[in-house]
């Protein structure tokens, strides 16, 4: 997402303007303006570009946002609400704390503080249009039914739509687990570059999650899992991008088993509350070429906090904290982090404990988690945490079953472990590259060398 630097922020001078109320010195007022040129913030010159680059992908005709933010008139109508959502970092919907842990993430939708300040200043000034000549040309957005990751990787190599199923307007949770043939599968085993899952059309608000695993056809006509997961999707998630140089395996001759969880009527502000006929969830896979070279395997695994015991129980009007630990007998690199929970989950953190130094480091924190916006937070390659053998991941989640939780449908219920949206779960999806000691040492040395280079460059 583009940033636009405006001189009025950089050059902010504190101006002291004294105004005297008419007729009476006793009512003298002193007004502090944060910047002499604040008045210059206009839609055309300052705000339009931010809205184009960060909001219109969803807030346009056919987009998933509840209203359009395309013309000045659209945006002006919602200006006060936009300020609230943007200043509180609720929009764009990417929830990841800005002041703790690793901040360099791929496909990060967060606005810069500078853009947030620009929008807030514009709204405070009455949301003026400014000079229409300053207006940037309209942006060309991809069609709403196109794959978002096609912008990075081109058209997908493989498609695997689920079989259609009708979802009623209301009622209990539904699950759909068809096995389907993939279209475009090459011969032999290959390495996956990226994956994206997308419920078709209006189904976005009724599909809570859609997991996919690879299956092989047996001689007796049944299917058996290969042990490899294709991907995981949960509401609001963009997709998975596998780092360069490693392999997430696409086994040869496989089918996809879908595990789709639907919530009739839908969840969130844009819930359809209507019958959805022939709901289909699509999976797209981008592959590396057959001669792609790699050293290590990468996988996506759900690390459950409850170690299979599933003894999660939240009292009415109460809260609960869960904690899970994980270590490996070889070094690993954590490539992505995605907390999973339902309507009572409010926050999650990922920490590393290093036995050698006996210190803990927070690497990611989401303190405003929402079940309508699952994201796989994908670390930039040069900062993805490298975990030495024996170091421990500490995974924490906090559940709020009080009326203070805006997502809570009923604070008077006991909440148990389970798959329904009204139940809770406690796990993280982690993309993990499995290294060996030599590879770990090499990556650490490469990063240290890059840091040293940076130090020298900034010194000169």
**Smallest Cα–Cα separation from 245: which of 302, 168, 187, 298?**
298
Which range touches ligand HEC (CB under 6 A), out of 268-276, 308-316, 401-409, 424-432?
268-276
**Interface characters, 64-83, with ligand HEC (x: CB under 6 A):** xxx-----------x--xx-
CB 285 within 8 A of CB 228: no
Kindly state whether residue 372 participates in binding ligand HEC, applying the rule CB under 6 A. yes
Is 395 exposed, middle or buried (CB count within 10 Å of its CB: 0-12, 13-18, 19+)?
Answer: buried
How far, rounded to the nearest angstrom, does the alpha carbon of residue 100 sit from its chain's CA centroid?
17
Q: What are the structure tokens assigned to 456, written together?
A: 């020298």
Q: Which of 270/368 has CB closer to ligand HEC?
A: 270
Kindly state whether residue 59 participates in binding ligand HEC, applying the rule CB under 6 A. yes
Q: Which of 93/239 has CB closer to ligand HEC?
A: 93
Please tell me the distance from the alpha carbon of residue 212 to that of residue 223, in angstroms, as a whole number: 14
Kindly state whether residue 55 participates in binding ligand HEC, applying the rule CB under 6 A. yes
Q: Which of 60/190 has CB closer to ligand HEC?
A: 60
Contacting residue, 76, 85, 107, 434, with ligand HEC by CB under 6 A: 85
Kindly state whether residue 268 participates in binding ligand HEC, applying the rule CB under 6 A. yes
Q: What are the structure tokens assigned to 256, written together?
A: 């996809």
What is the CB neighbour count within 10 angstroms for residue 376? 25
- Smallest gap, in angstroms, from Cβ of residue 73 to ligand HEC? 15
Q: Which of 35/148 has CB closer to ligand HEC?
A: 148
Q: What are the structure tokens assigned to 138, written together?
A: 């309209």
What is the CB neighbour count within 10 angstroms for residue 107? 16
Kindly state whether residue 200 participates in binding ligand HEC, applying the rule CB under 6 A. no
CB 248 within 8 A of CB 434: no
CB 398 within 8 A of CB 319: yes
Q: Which of 54/349 has CB closer to ligand HEC?
A: 54
- Smallest gap, in angstroms, from Cβ of residue 96 to ligand HEC? 14
Kindly state whether residue 57 participates in binding ligand HEC, applying the rule CB under 6 A. yes
Q: Find where tokens 């630097």 sit.
A: 5
Q: Which of 1/362 has CB closer to ligand HEC?
A: 1
Please tell me the distance from the alpha carbon of residue 6 to that of residue 4, in angstroms, as a whole number: 6
Kindly state whether residue 153 participates in binding ligand HEC, applying the rule CB under 6 A. no
**Smallest Cα–Cα separation from 254: which of 276, 272, 233, 229?**
229
Which range touches ligand HEC (CB under 6 A), out of 243-251, 263-271, 327-335, 348-356?
263-271
CB 374 within 8 A of CB 235: yes
Which range touches ligand HEC (CB under 6 A), out of 36-44, 58-66, 334-342, 348-356?
58-66
Kindly state whether residue 318 participates in binding ligand HEC, applying the rule CB under 6 A. no
- Smallest gap, in angstroms, from Cβ of residue 74 to ligand HEC? 11
Q: What are the structure tokens assigned to 135, written together?
A: 């207006």
Kindly state whether residue 92 participates in binding ligand HEC, applying the rule CB under 6 A. yes
Which residues form the interface with ligand HEC (CB under 6 A)?
54-55, 57-59, 64-66, 78, 81-82, 85-86, 91-93, 109, 111, 268-270, 372
């Amino acid at each position: 997402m583009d940033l636009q630097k405006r001189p009025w922020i950089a050059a902010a001078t504190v101006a002291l303007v004294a105004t005297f109320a008419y007729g009476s010195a006793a009512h003298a007022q002193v007004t502090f303006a944060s910047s002499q040129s604040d008045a210059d913030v206009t839609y055309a010159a300052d705000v339009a570009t931010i809205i184009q680059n960060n909001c219109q992908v969803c807030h346009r005709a056919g987009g998933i946002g509840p209203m359009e933010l395309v013309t000045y008139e659209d945006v002006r109508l919602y200006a006060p609400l936009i300020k609230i959502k943007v200043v509180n970092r609720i929009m764009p919907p990417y929830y990841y704390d800005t002041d703790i842990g690793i901040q360099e993430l791929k496909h990060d939708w967060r606005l810069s503080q500078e853009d947030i300040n620009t929008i807030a200043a514009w709204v405070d000034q009455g949301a003026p249009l400014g000079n229409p000549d300053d207006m940037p040309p309209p942006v060309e957005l991809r069609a709403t039914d196109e794959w978002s990751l096609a912008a990075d990787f081109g058209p997908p190599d493989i498609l695997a739509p689920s079989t259609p199923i009708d979802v009623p307007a209301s009622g209990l949770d539904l699950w759909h687990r068809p096995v389907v043939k993939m279209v475009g599968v090459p011969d032999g085993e290959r390495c996956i570059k990226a994956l994206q899952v997308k419920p078709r059309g209006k189904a976005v608000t009724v599909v809570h999650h859609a997991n996919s695993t690879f299956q092989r056809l047996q001689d007796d006509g049944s299917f058996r899992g290969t042990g490899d997961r294709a991907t995981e999707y949960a509401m609001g998630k963009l997709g998975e991008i596998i780092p360069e140089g490693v392999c997430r395996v696409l086994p040869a001759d496989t089918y996809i088993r879908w595990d789709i969880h639907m919530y009739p009527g839908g969840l969130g502000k844009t819930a359809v509350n209507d019958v959805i006929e022939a709901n289909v969830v699509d999976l797209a896979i981008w592959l590396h070429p057959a001669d792609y070279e790699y050293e290590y395997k990468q996988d996506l695994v759900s690390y459950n906090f409850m170690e299979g015991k599933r003894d999660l129980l939240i009292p009415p009007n109460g809260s609960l904290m869960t904690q899970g630990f994980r270590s490996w007998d070889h070094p690993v690199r954590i490539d992505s982090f995605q907390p999973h929970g339902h309507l009572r989950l409010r926050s999650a953190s990922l920490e590393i404990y290093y036995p050698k130094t006996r210190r803990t480091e927070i690497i990611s924190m989401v303190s405003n988690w929402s079940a309508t916006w699952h994201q796989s937070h994908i670390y930039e390659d040069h900062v993805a945490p490298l975990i030495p053998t024996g170091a421990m991941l500490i995974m924490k989640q906090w559940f709020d079953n009080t009326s203070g939780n805006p997502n809570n449908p009923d604070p008077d219920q006991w909440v148990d472990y389970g798959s329904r949206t009204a139940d809770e779960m406690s796990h993280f999806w982690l993309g993990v590259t499995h290294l060996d000691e030599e590879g770990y040492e090499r990556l650490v040395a490469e990063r240290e060398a890059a840091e040293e280079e940076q130090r020298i460059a900034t010194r000169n």
